[in-house]
């Protein structure tokens, strides 16, 4: 008997409905057609084992399973459940009248237990868009999918439970998530705070500027100076993530299978800190069955590249275009997939291979050429996109042991929010531009006009420090943000003077 079941395929950060037709014809064997990958082809073995272990009969006919549309690749083991249901129904072990009300997805274990799937959130969005009554999927994914309203999401643990549900057992209830309430609850809670960082007022100031203008920054300092500790706290002073942004970010984590079991939405700006051994595909996304990379998992949050010079140069080069476009395009023979990738980059590095170049107490043991070679590793395309260079020196033992109340993240964040509000208004007519870091040359001209004193100061500094032309625009952007933090419409000489300090890597003479 011919039956139809509906499943879902993830494509980029969206899903599309897959129709699975199952039919019995004379003969024996199993044929899956419609571009299944090897994991899908192997599903029959898992399904037959799950049948056996739960008292269902293996078909005595030849089974033909057709997955449509045929031009979309069906990948992974998440089609086990819809195929298993389809085969039971085609062999008349399960009534077929309710099947088409649902999108059904899940991977089967041999005993019939279900394992979670990737992309439950986009699947739910699509199911609701197309007017399905419900979505049946593993319980671990239920809360993630249930963020979508007006769709009955059934989180199930076992093949038998799915069959009971399809036979009309109404003791199985849909999962309900109050998205707005959960979002509001989780949003303002952080378990780290700038308050815990002693001293380092100037570094905190630099990070406040970075947060206020959306500027990329690099922290340069010796081992143990607190670079990692400081960078990790950046999300605590960024403007709170909006519900819209949260859904975008959650969708990417859902597709990548990175949401914890039973999680609903990501209510914080993400902080991603990939190890320097990461591959190109791991960082920007890709692979045979394309997956979002770290730059997309950091969407609407922070990407932290700790020990930047340790990353392979090619890895850093592939980030160039996505950073420009704030999204990444993965091109394949027939298709191309876009993943959003709008993030703030924070990098860290030692000033030289031994770590103690310019250190107040310790001696650097590196030859000048070694220092230069080390710096050259990070120069070029990526450094070009970093507005703030921040030198971090360790706080003294005395300062570390002393108790002095420091400003909390909440207080700093309030100033950041004010400065962002000015920018939102300033760029309201500009498509895709919402902070100072995103200013084009034309916008810099328009919004960073200098008075004679400031212009003079900048010119003199450029000459004295032998700053490059690229440093010029960066200084103007950063000084715009510094002025915004003071709600000053005009950029003043003091703003320029402070911005100039954040160009240490451009200065001629670093490394002798």
Ligand X SMILES: Nc1ncnc2c1ncn2[C@@H]1O[C@H](COP(=O)(O)OP(=O)(O)OP(=O)(O)O)[C@@H](O)[C@H]1O
Residues that bind Mg ion in the complex, under the rule CB under 5 A: 228
In this complex, which beta carbon is closest to ligand X, that of residue 227 or of residue 299? 227
Find all residues with CB under 8 Å of 337, minimum gap 6, and list them: 11, 12, 290, 329, 330
Concatenating the DSSP letter of every residue in 107-148 gives EEPTTSBEE--S-HHHHHHHHHHTT-SEEEEEGGGHHHHTTS
Min dist CB 395 to ligand X, Å, is 4
Min dist CB 349 to Zn ion, Å, is 12
In this complex, which beta carbon is closest to ligand X, that of residue 221 or of residue 292? 221
Min dist CB 258 to Mg ion, Å, is 23
- Does residue 221 interact with ligand X by CB under 6 A? yes
Q: Is residue 103 helix, strand or coil?
A: strand
3-state secondary structure 399-450: HHHCCCCCCCHHHHHHHHHHHHHHHHHHCCCCCCCCCHHHCCHHHHHHHCCE
Binding positions for ligand X, 158-217, rule CB under 6 A: 197-200
Contacted entry of Mg ion, ligand X, Zn ion, none for residue 364, CB cut-off 5 to 8 Å set by kind: Zn ion
Contacted entry of Mg ion, Zn ion, ligand X, none for residue 354, CB cut-off 5 to 8 Å set by kind: Zn ion
Residue 135 has φ and ψ, to the nearest 5°, of -130, 130
Find all residues with CB under 8 Å of 323, minimum gap 6, and list them: 295, 341, 345, 382, 385
Min dist CB 230 to ligand X, Å, is 7
Q: Which of 286, 119, 292, 304 is nearest to 228 (CA)?
A: 304
d(CA 228, CA 208): 16
In this complex, which beta carbon is closest to ligand X, that of residue 223 or of residue 240? 223
**What are the residues binding Zn ion (CB under 5 A)?**
352, 354, 357, 364, 366
- Does residue 309 interact with ligand X by CB under 6 A? no
Contacted entry of Mg ion, Zn ion, ligand X, none for residue 214, CB cut-off 5 to 8 Å set by kind: none
Min dist CB 224 to ligand X, Å, is 5
- Does residue 372 interact with ligand X by CB under 6 A? no
Min dist CB 221 to Mg ion, Å, is 9
Structure token digits, residue 122: 């986009």
d(CA 349, CA 442): 32
Min dist CB 363 to Zn ion, Å, is 8
Contacted entry of ligand X, Mg ion, Zn ion, none for residue 221, CB cut-off 5 to 8 Å set by kind: ligand X
Contacted entry of Zn ion, ligand X, Mg ion, none for residue 468, CB cut-off 5 to 8 Å set by kind: none
- Does residue 225 interact with ligand X by CB under 6 A? yes
- Does residue 263 interact with ligand X by CB under 6 A? no
Binding mask of the shown chain, residues 335 to 364, with x at each position contacting ligand X by CB under 6 A = ---------------x--------------
For the chain, the straight-line distance linking the first and the last C-alpha, in angstroms and rounded, comes to 81
d(CA 248, CA 95): 38
Find all residues with CB under 8 Å of 311, minimum gap 6, and list them: 276, 278, 305
In this complex, which beta carbon is closest to Mg ion, that of residue 276 or of residue 470? 276
Concatenating the DSSP letter of every residue in 177-217 gives --HHHHHHHHHT--S--GGGS-S-HHHHHHHHHHHHHT--E
- Does residue 239 interact with ligand X by CB under 6 A? no
Q: Which residues bind ligand X (CB under 6 A)?
A: 197-200, 221, 223-229, 350, 395, 400
């Amino acid at each position: 008997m011919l039956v139809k079941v509906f499943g879902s395929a993830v494509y980029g950060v969206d899903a599309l409905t897959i129709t699975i037709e199952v039919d019995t014809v004379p003969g024996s064997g199993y044929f899956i057609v419609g571009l299944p990958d090897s994991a899908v082809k192997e599903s029959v073995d898992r399904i037959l084992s799950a049948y056996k272990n739960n008292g269902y009969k293996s078909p005595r006919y030849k089974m033909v399973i057709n997955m449509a549309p045929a031009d979309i690749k069906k990948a992974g083991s998440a089609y086990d459940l819809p195929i298993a249901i389809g085969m039971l129904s085609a062999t008349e072990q399960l009534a077929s009248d309710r099947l088409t009300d649902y999108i059904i997805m899940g991977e089967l274990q041999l005993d019939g237990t279900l394992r979670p799937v990737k992309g439950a959130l986009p699947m739910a969005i699509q199911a609701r868009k197309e007017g399905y009554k419900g979505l049946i999927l593993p319980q671990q994914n239920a809360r993630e999918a249930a963020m979508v309203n007006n769709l009955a999401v059934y989180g199930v643990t076992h093949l038998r439970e799915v069959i009971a549900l399809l036979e009309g057992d109404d003791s199985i209830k849909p999962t309900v998530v109050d998205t707005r309430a959960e979002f509001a609850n989780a949003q303002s809670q952080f378990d780290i705070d700038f308050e815990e960082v002693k001293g380092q007022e100037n570094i905190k100031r630099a990070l406040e500027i970075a947060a206020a203008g959306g500027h990329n920054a690099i922290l340069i300092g010796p081992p143990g100076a607190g670079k990692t500790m400081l960078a990790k706290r950046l999300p605590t002073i960024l403007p709170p993530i909006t519900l819209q942004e949260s859904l975008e970010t959650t969708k990417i984590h859902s597709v990548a299978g990175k949401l914890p079991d039973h999680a609903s939405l990501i209510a914080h700006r993400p902080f991603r800190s990939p190890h320097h051994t990461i591959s190109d595909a791991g960082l920007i996304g890709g692979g045979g069955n394309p997956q979002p990379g770290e730059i997309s998992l950091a969407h609407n949050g922070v990407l932290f590249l700790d020990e930047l010079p340790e990353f392979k140069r090619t890895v850093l080069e592939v980030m160039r275009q996505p950073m420009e476009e704030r999204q990444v395009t993965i091109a394949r023979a027939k298709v191309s997939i876009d993943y959003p990738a709008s993030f703030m980059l924070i990098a860290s590095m030692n000033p030289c291979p031994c770590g103690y170049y310019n250190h107040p107490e310790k001696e650097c043991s590196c030859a000048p050429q070694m220092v230069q070679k080390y710096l050259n590793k990070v120069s070029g395309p990526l450094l070009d996109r970093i507005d703030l260079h921040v030198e971090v020196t360790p706080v003294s033992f005395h300062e570390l042991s002393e108790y002095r109340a420091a400003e909390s993240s909440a207080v700093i964040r309030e100033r950041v929010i004010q400065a962002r509000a000015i920018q939102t208004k300033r760029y309201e007519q500009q498509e895709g531009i919402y902070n100072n870091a995103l200013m084009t040359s034309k916008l810099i001209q328009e919004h960073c006009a200098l008075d004679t004193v400031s212009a003079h100061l900048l010119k003199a500094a450029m000459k004295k420090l032998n700053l490059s032309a690229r440093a010029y625009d960066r200084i103007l952007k950063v000084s715009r943000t510094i002025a915004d933090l003071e709600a000053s419409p005009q950029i003043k000489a003091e703003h320029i003077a402070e911005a100039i300090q954040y160009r240490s890597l451009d200065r001629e003479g670093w490394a002798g």
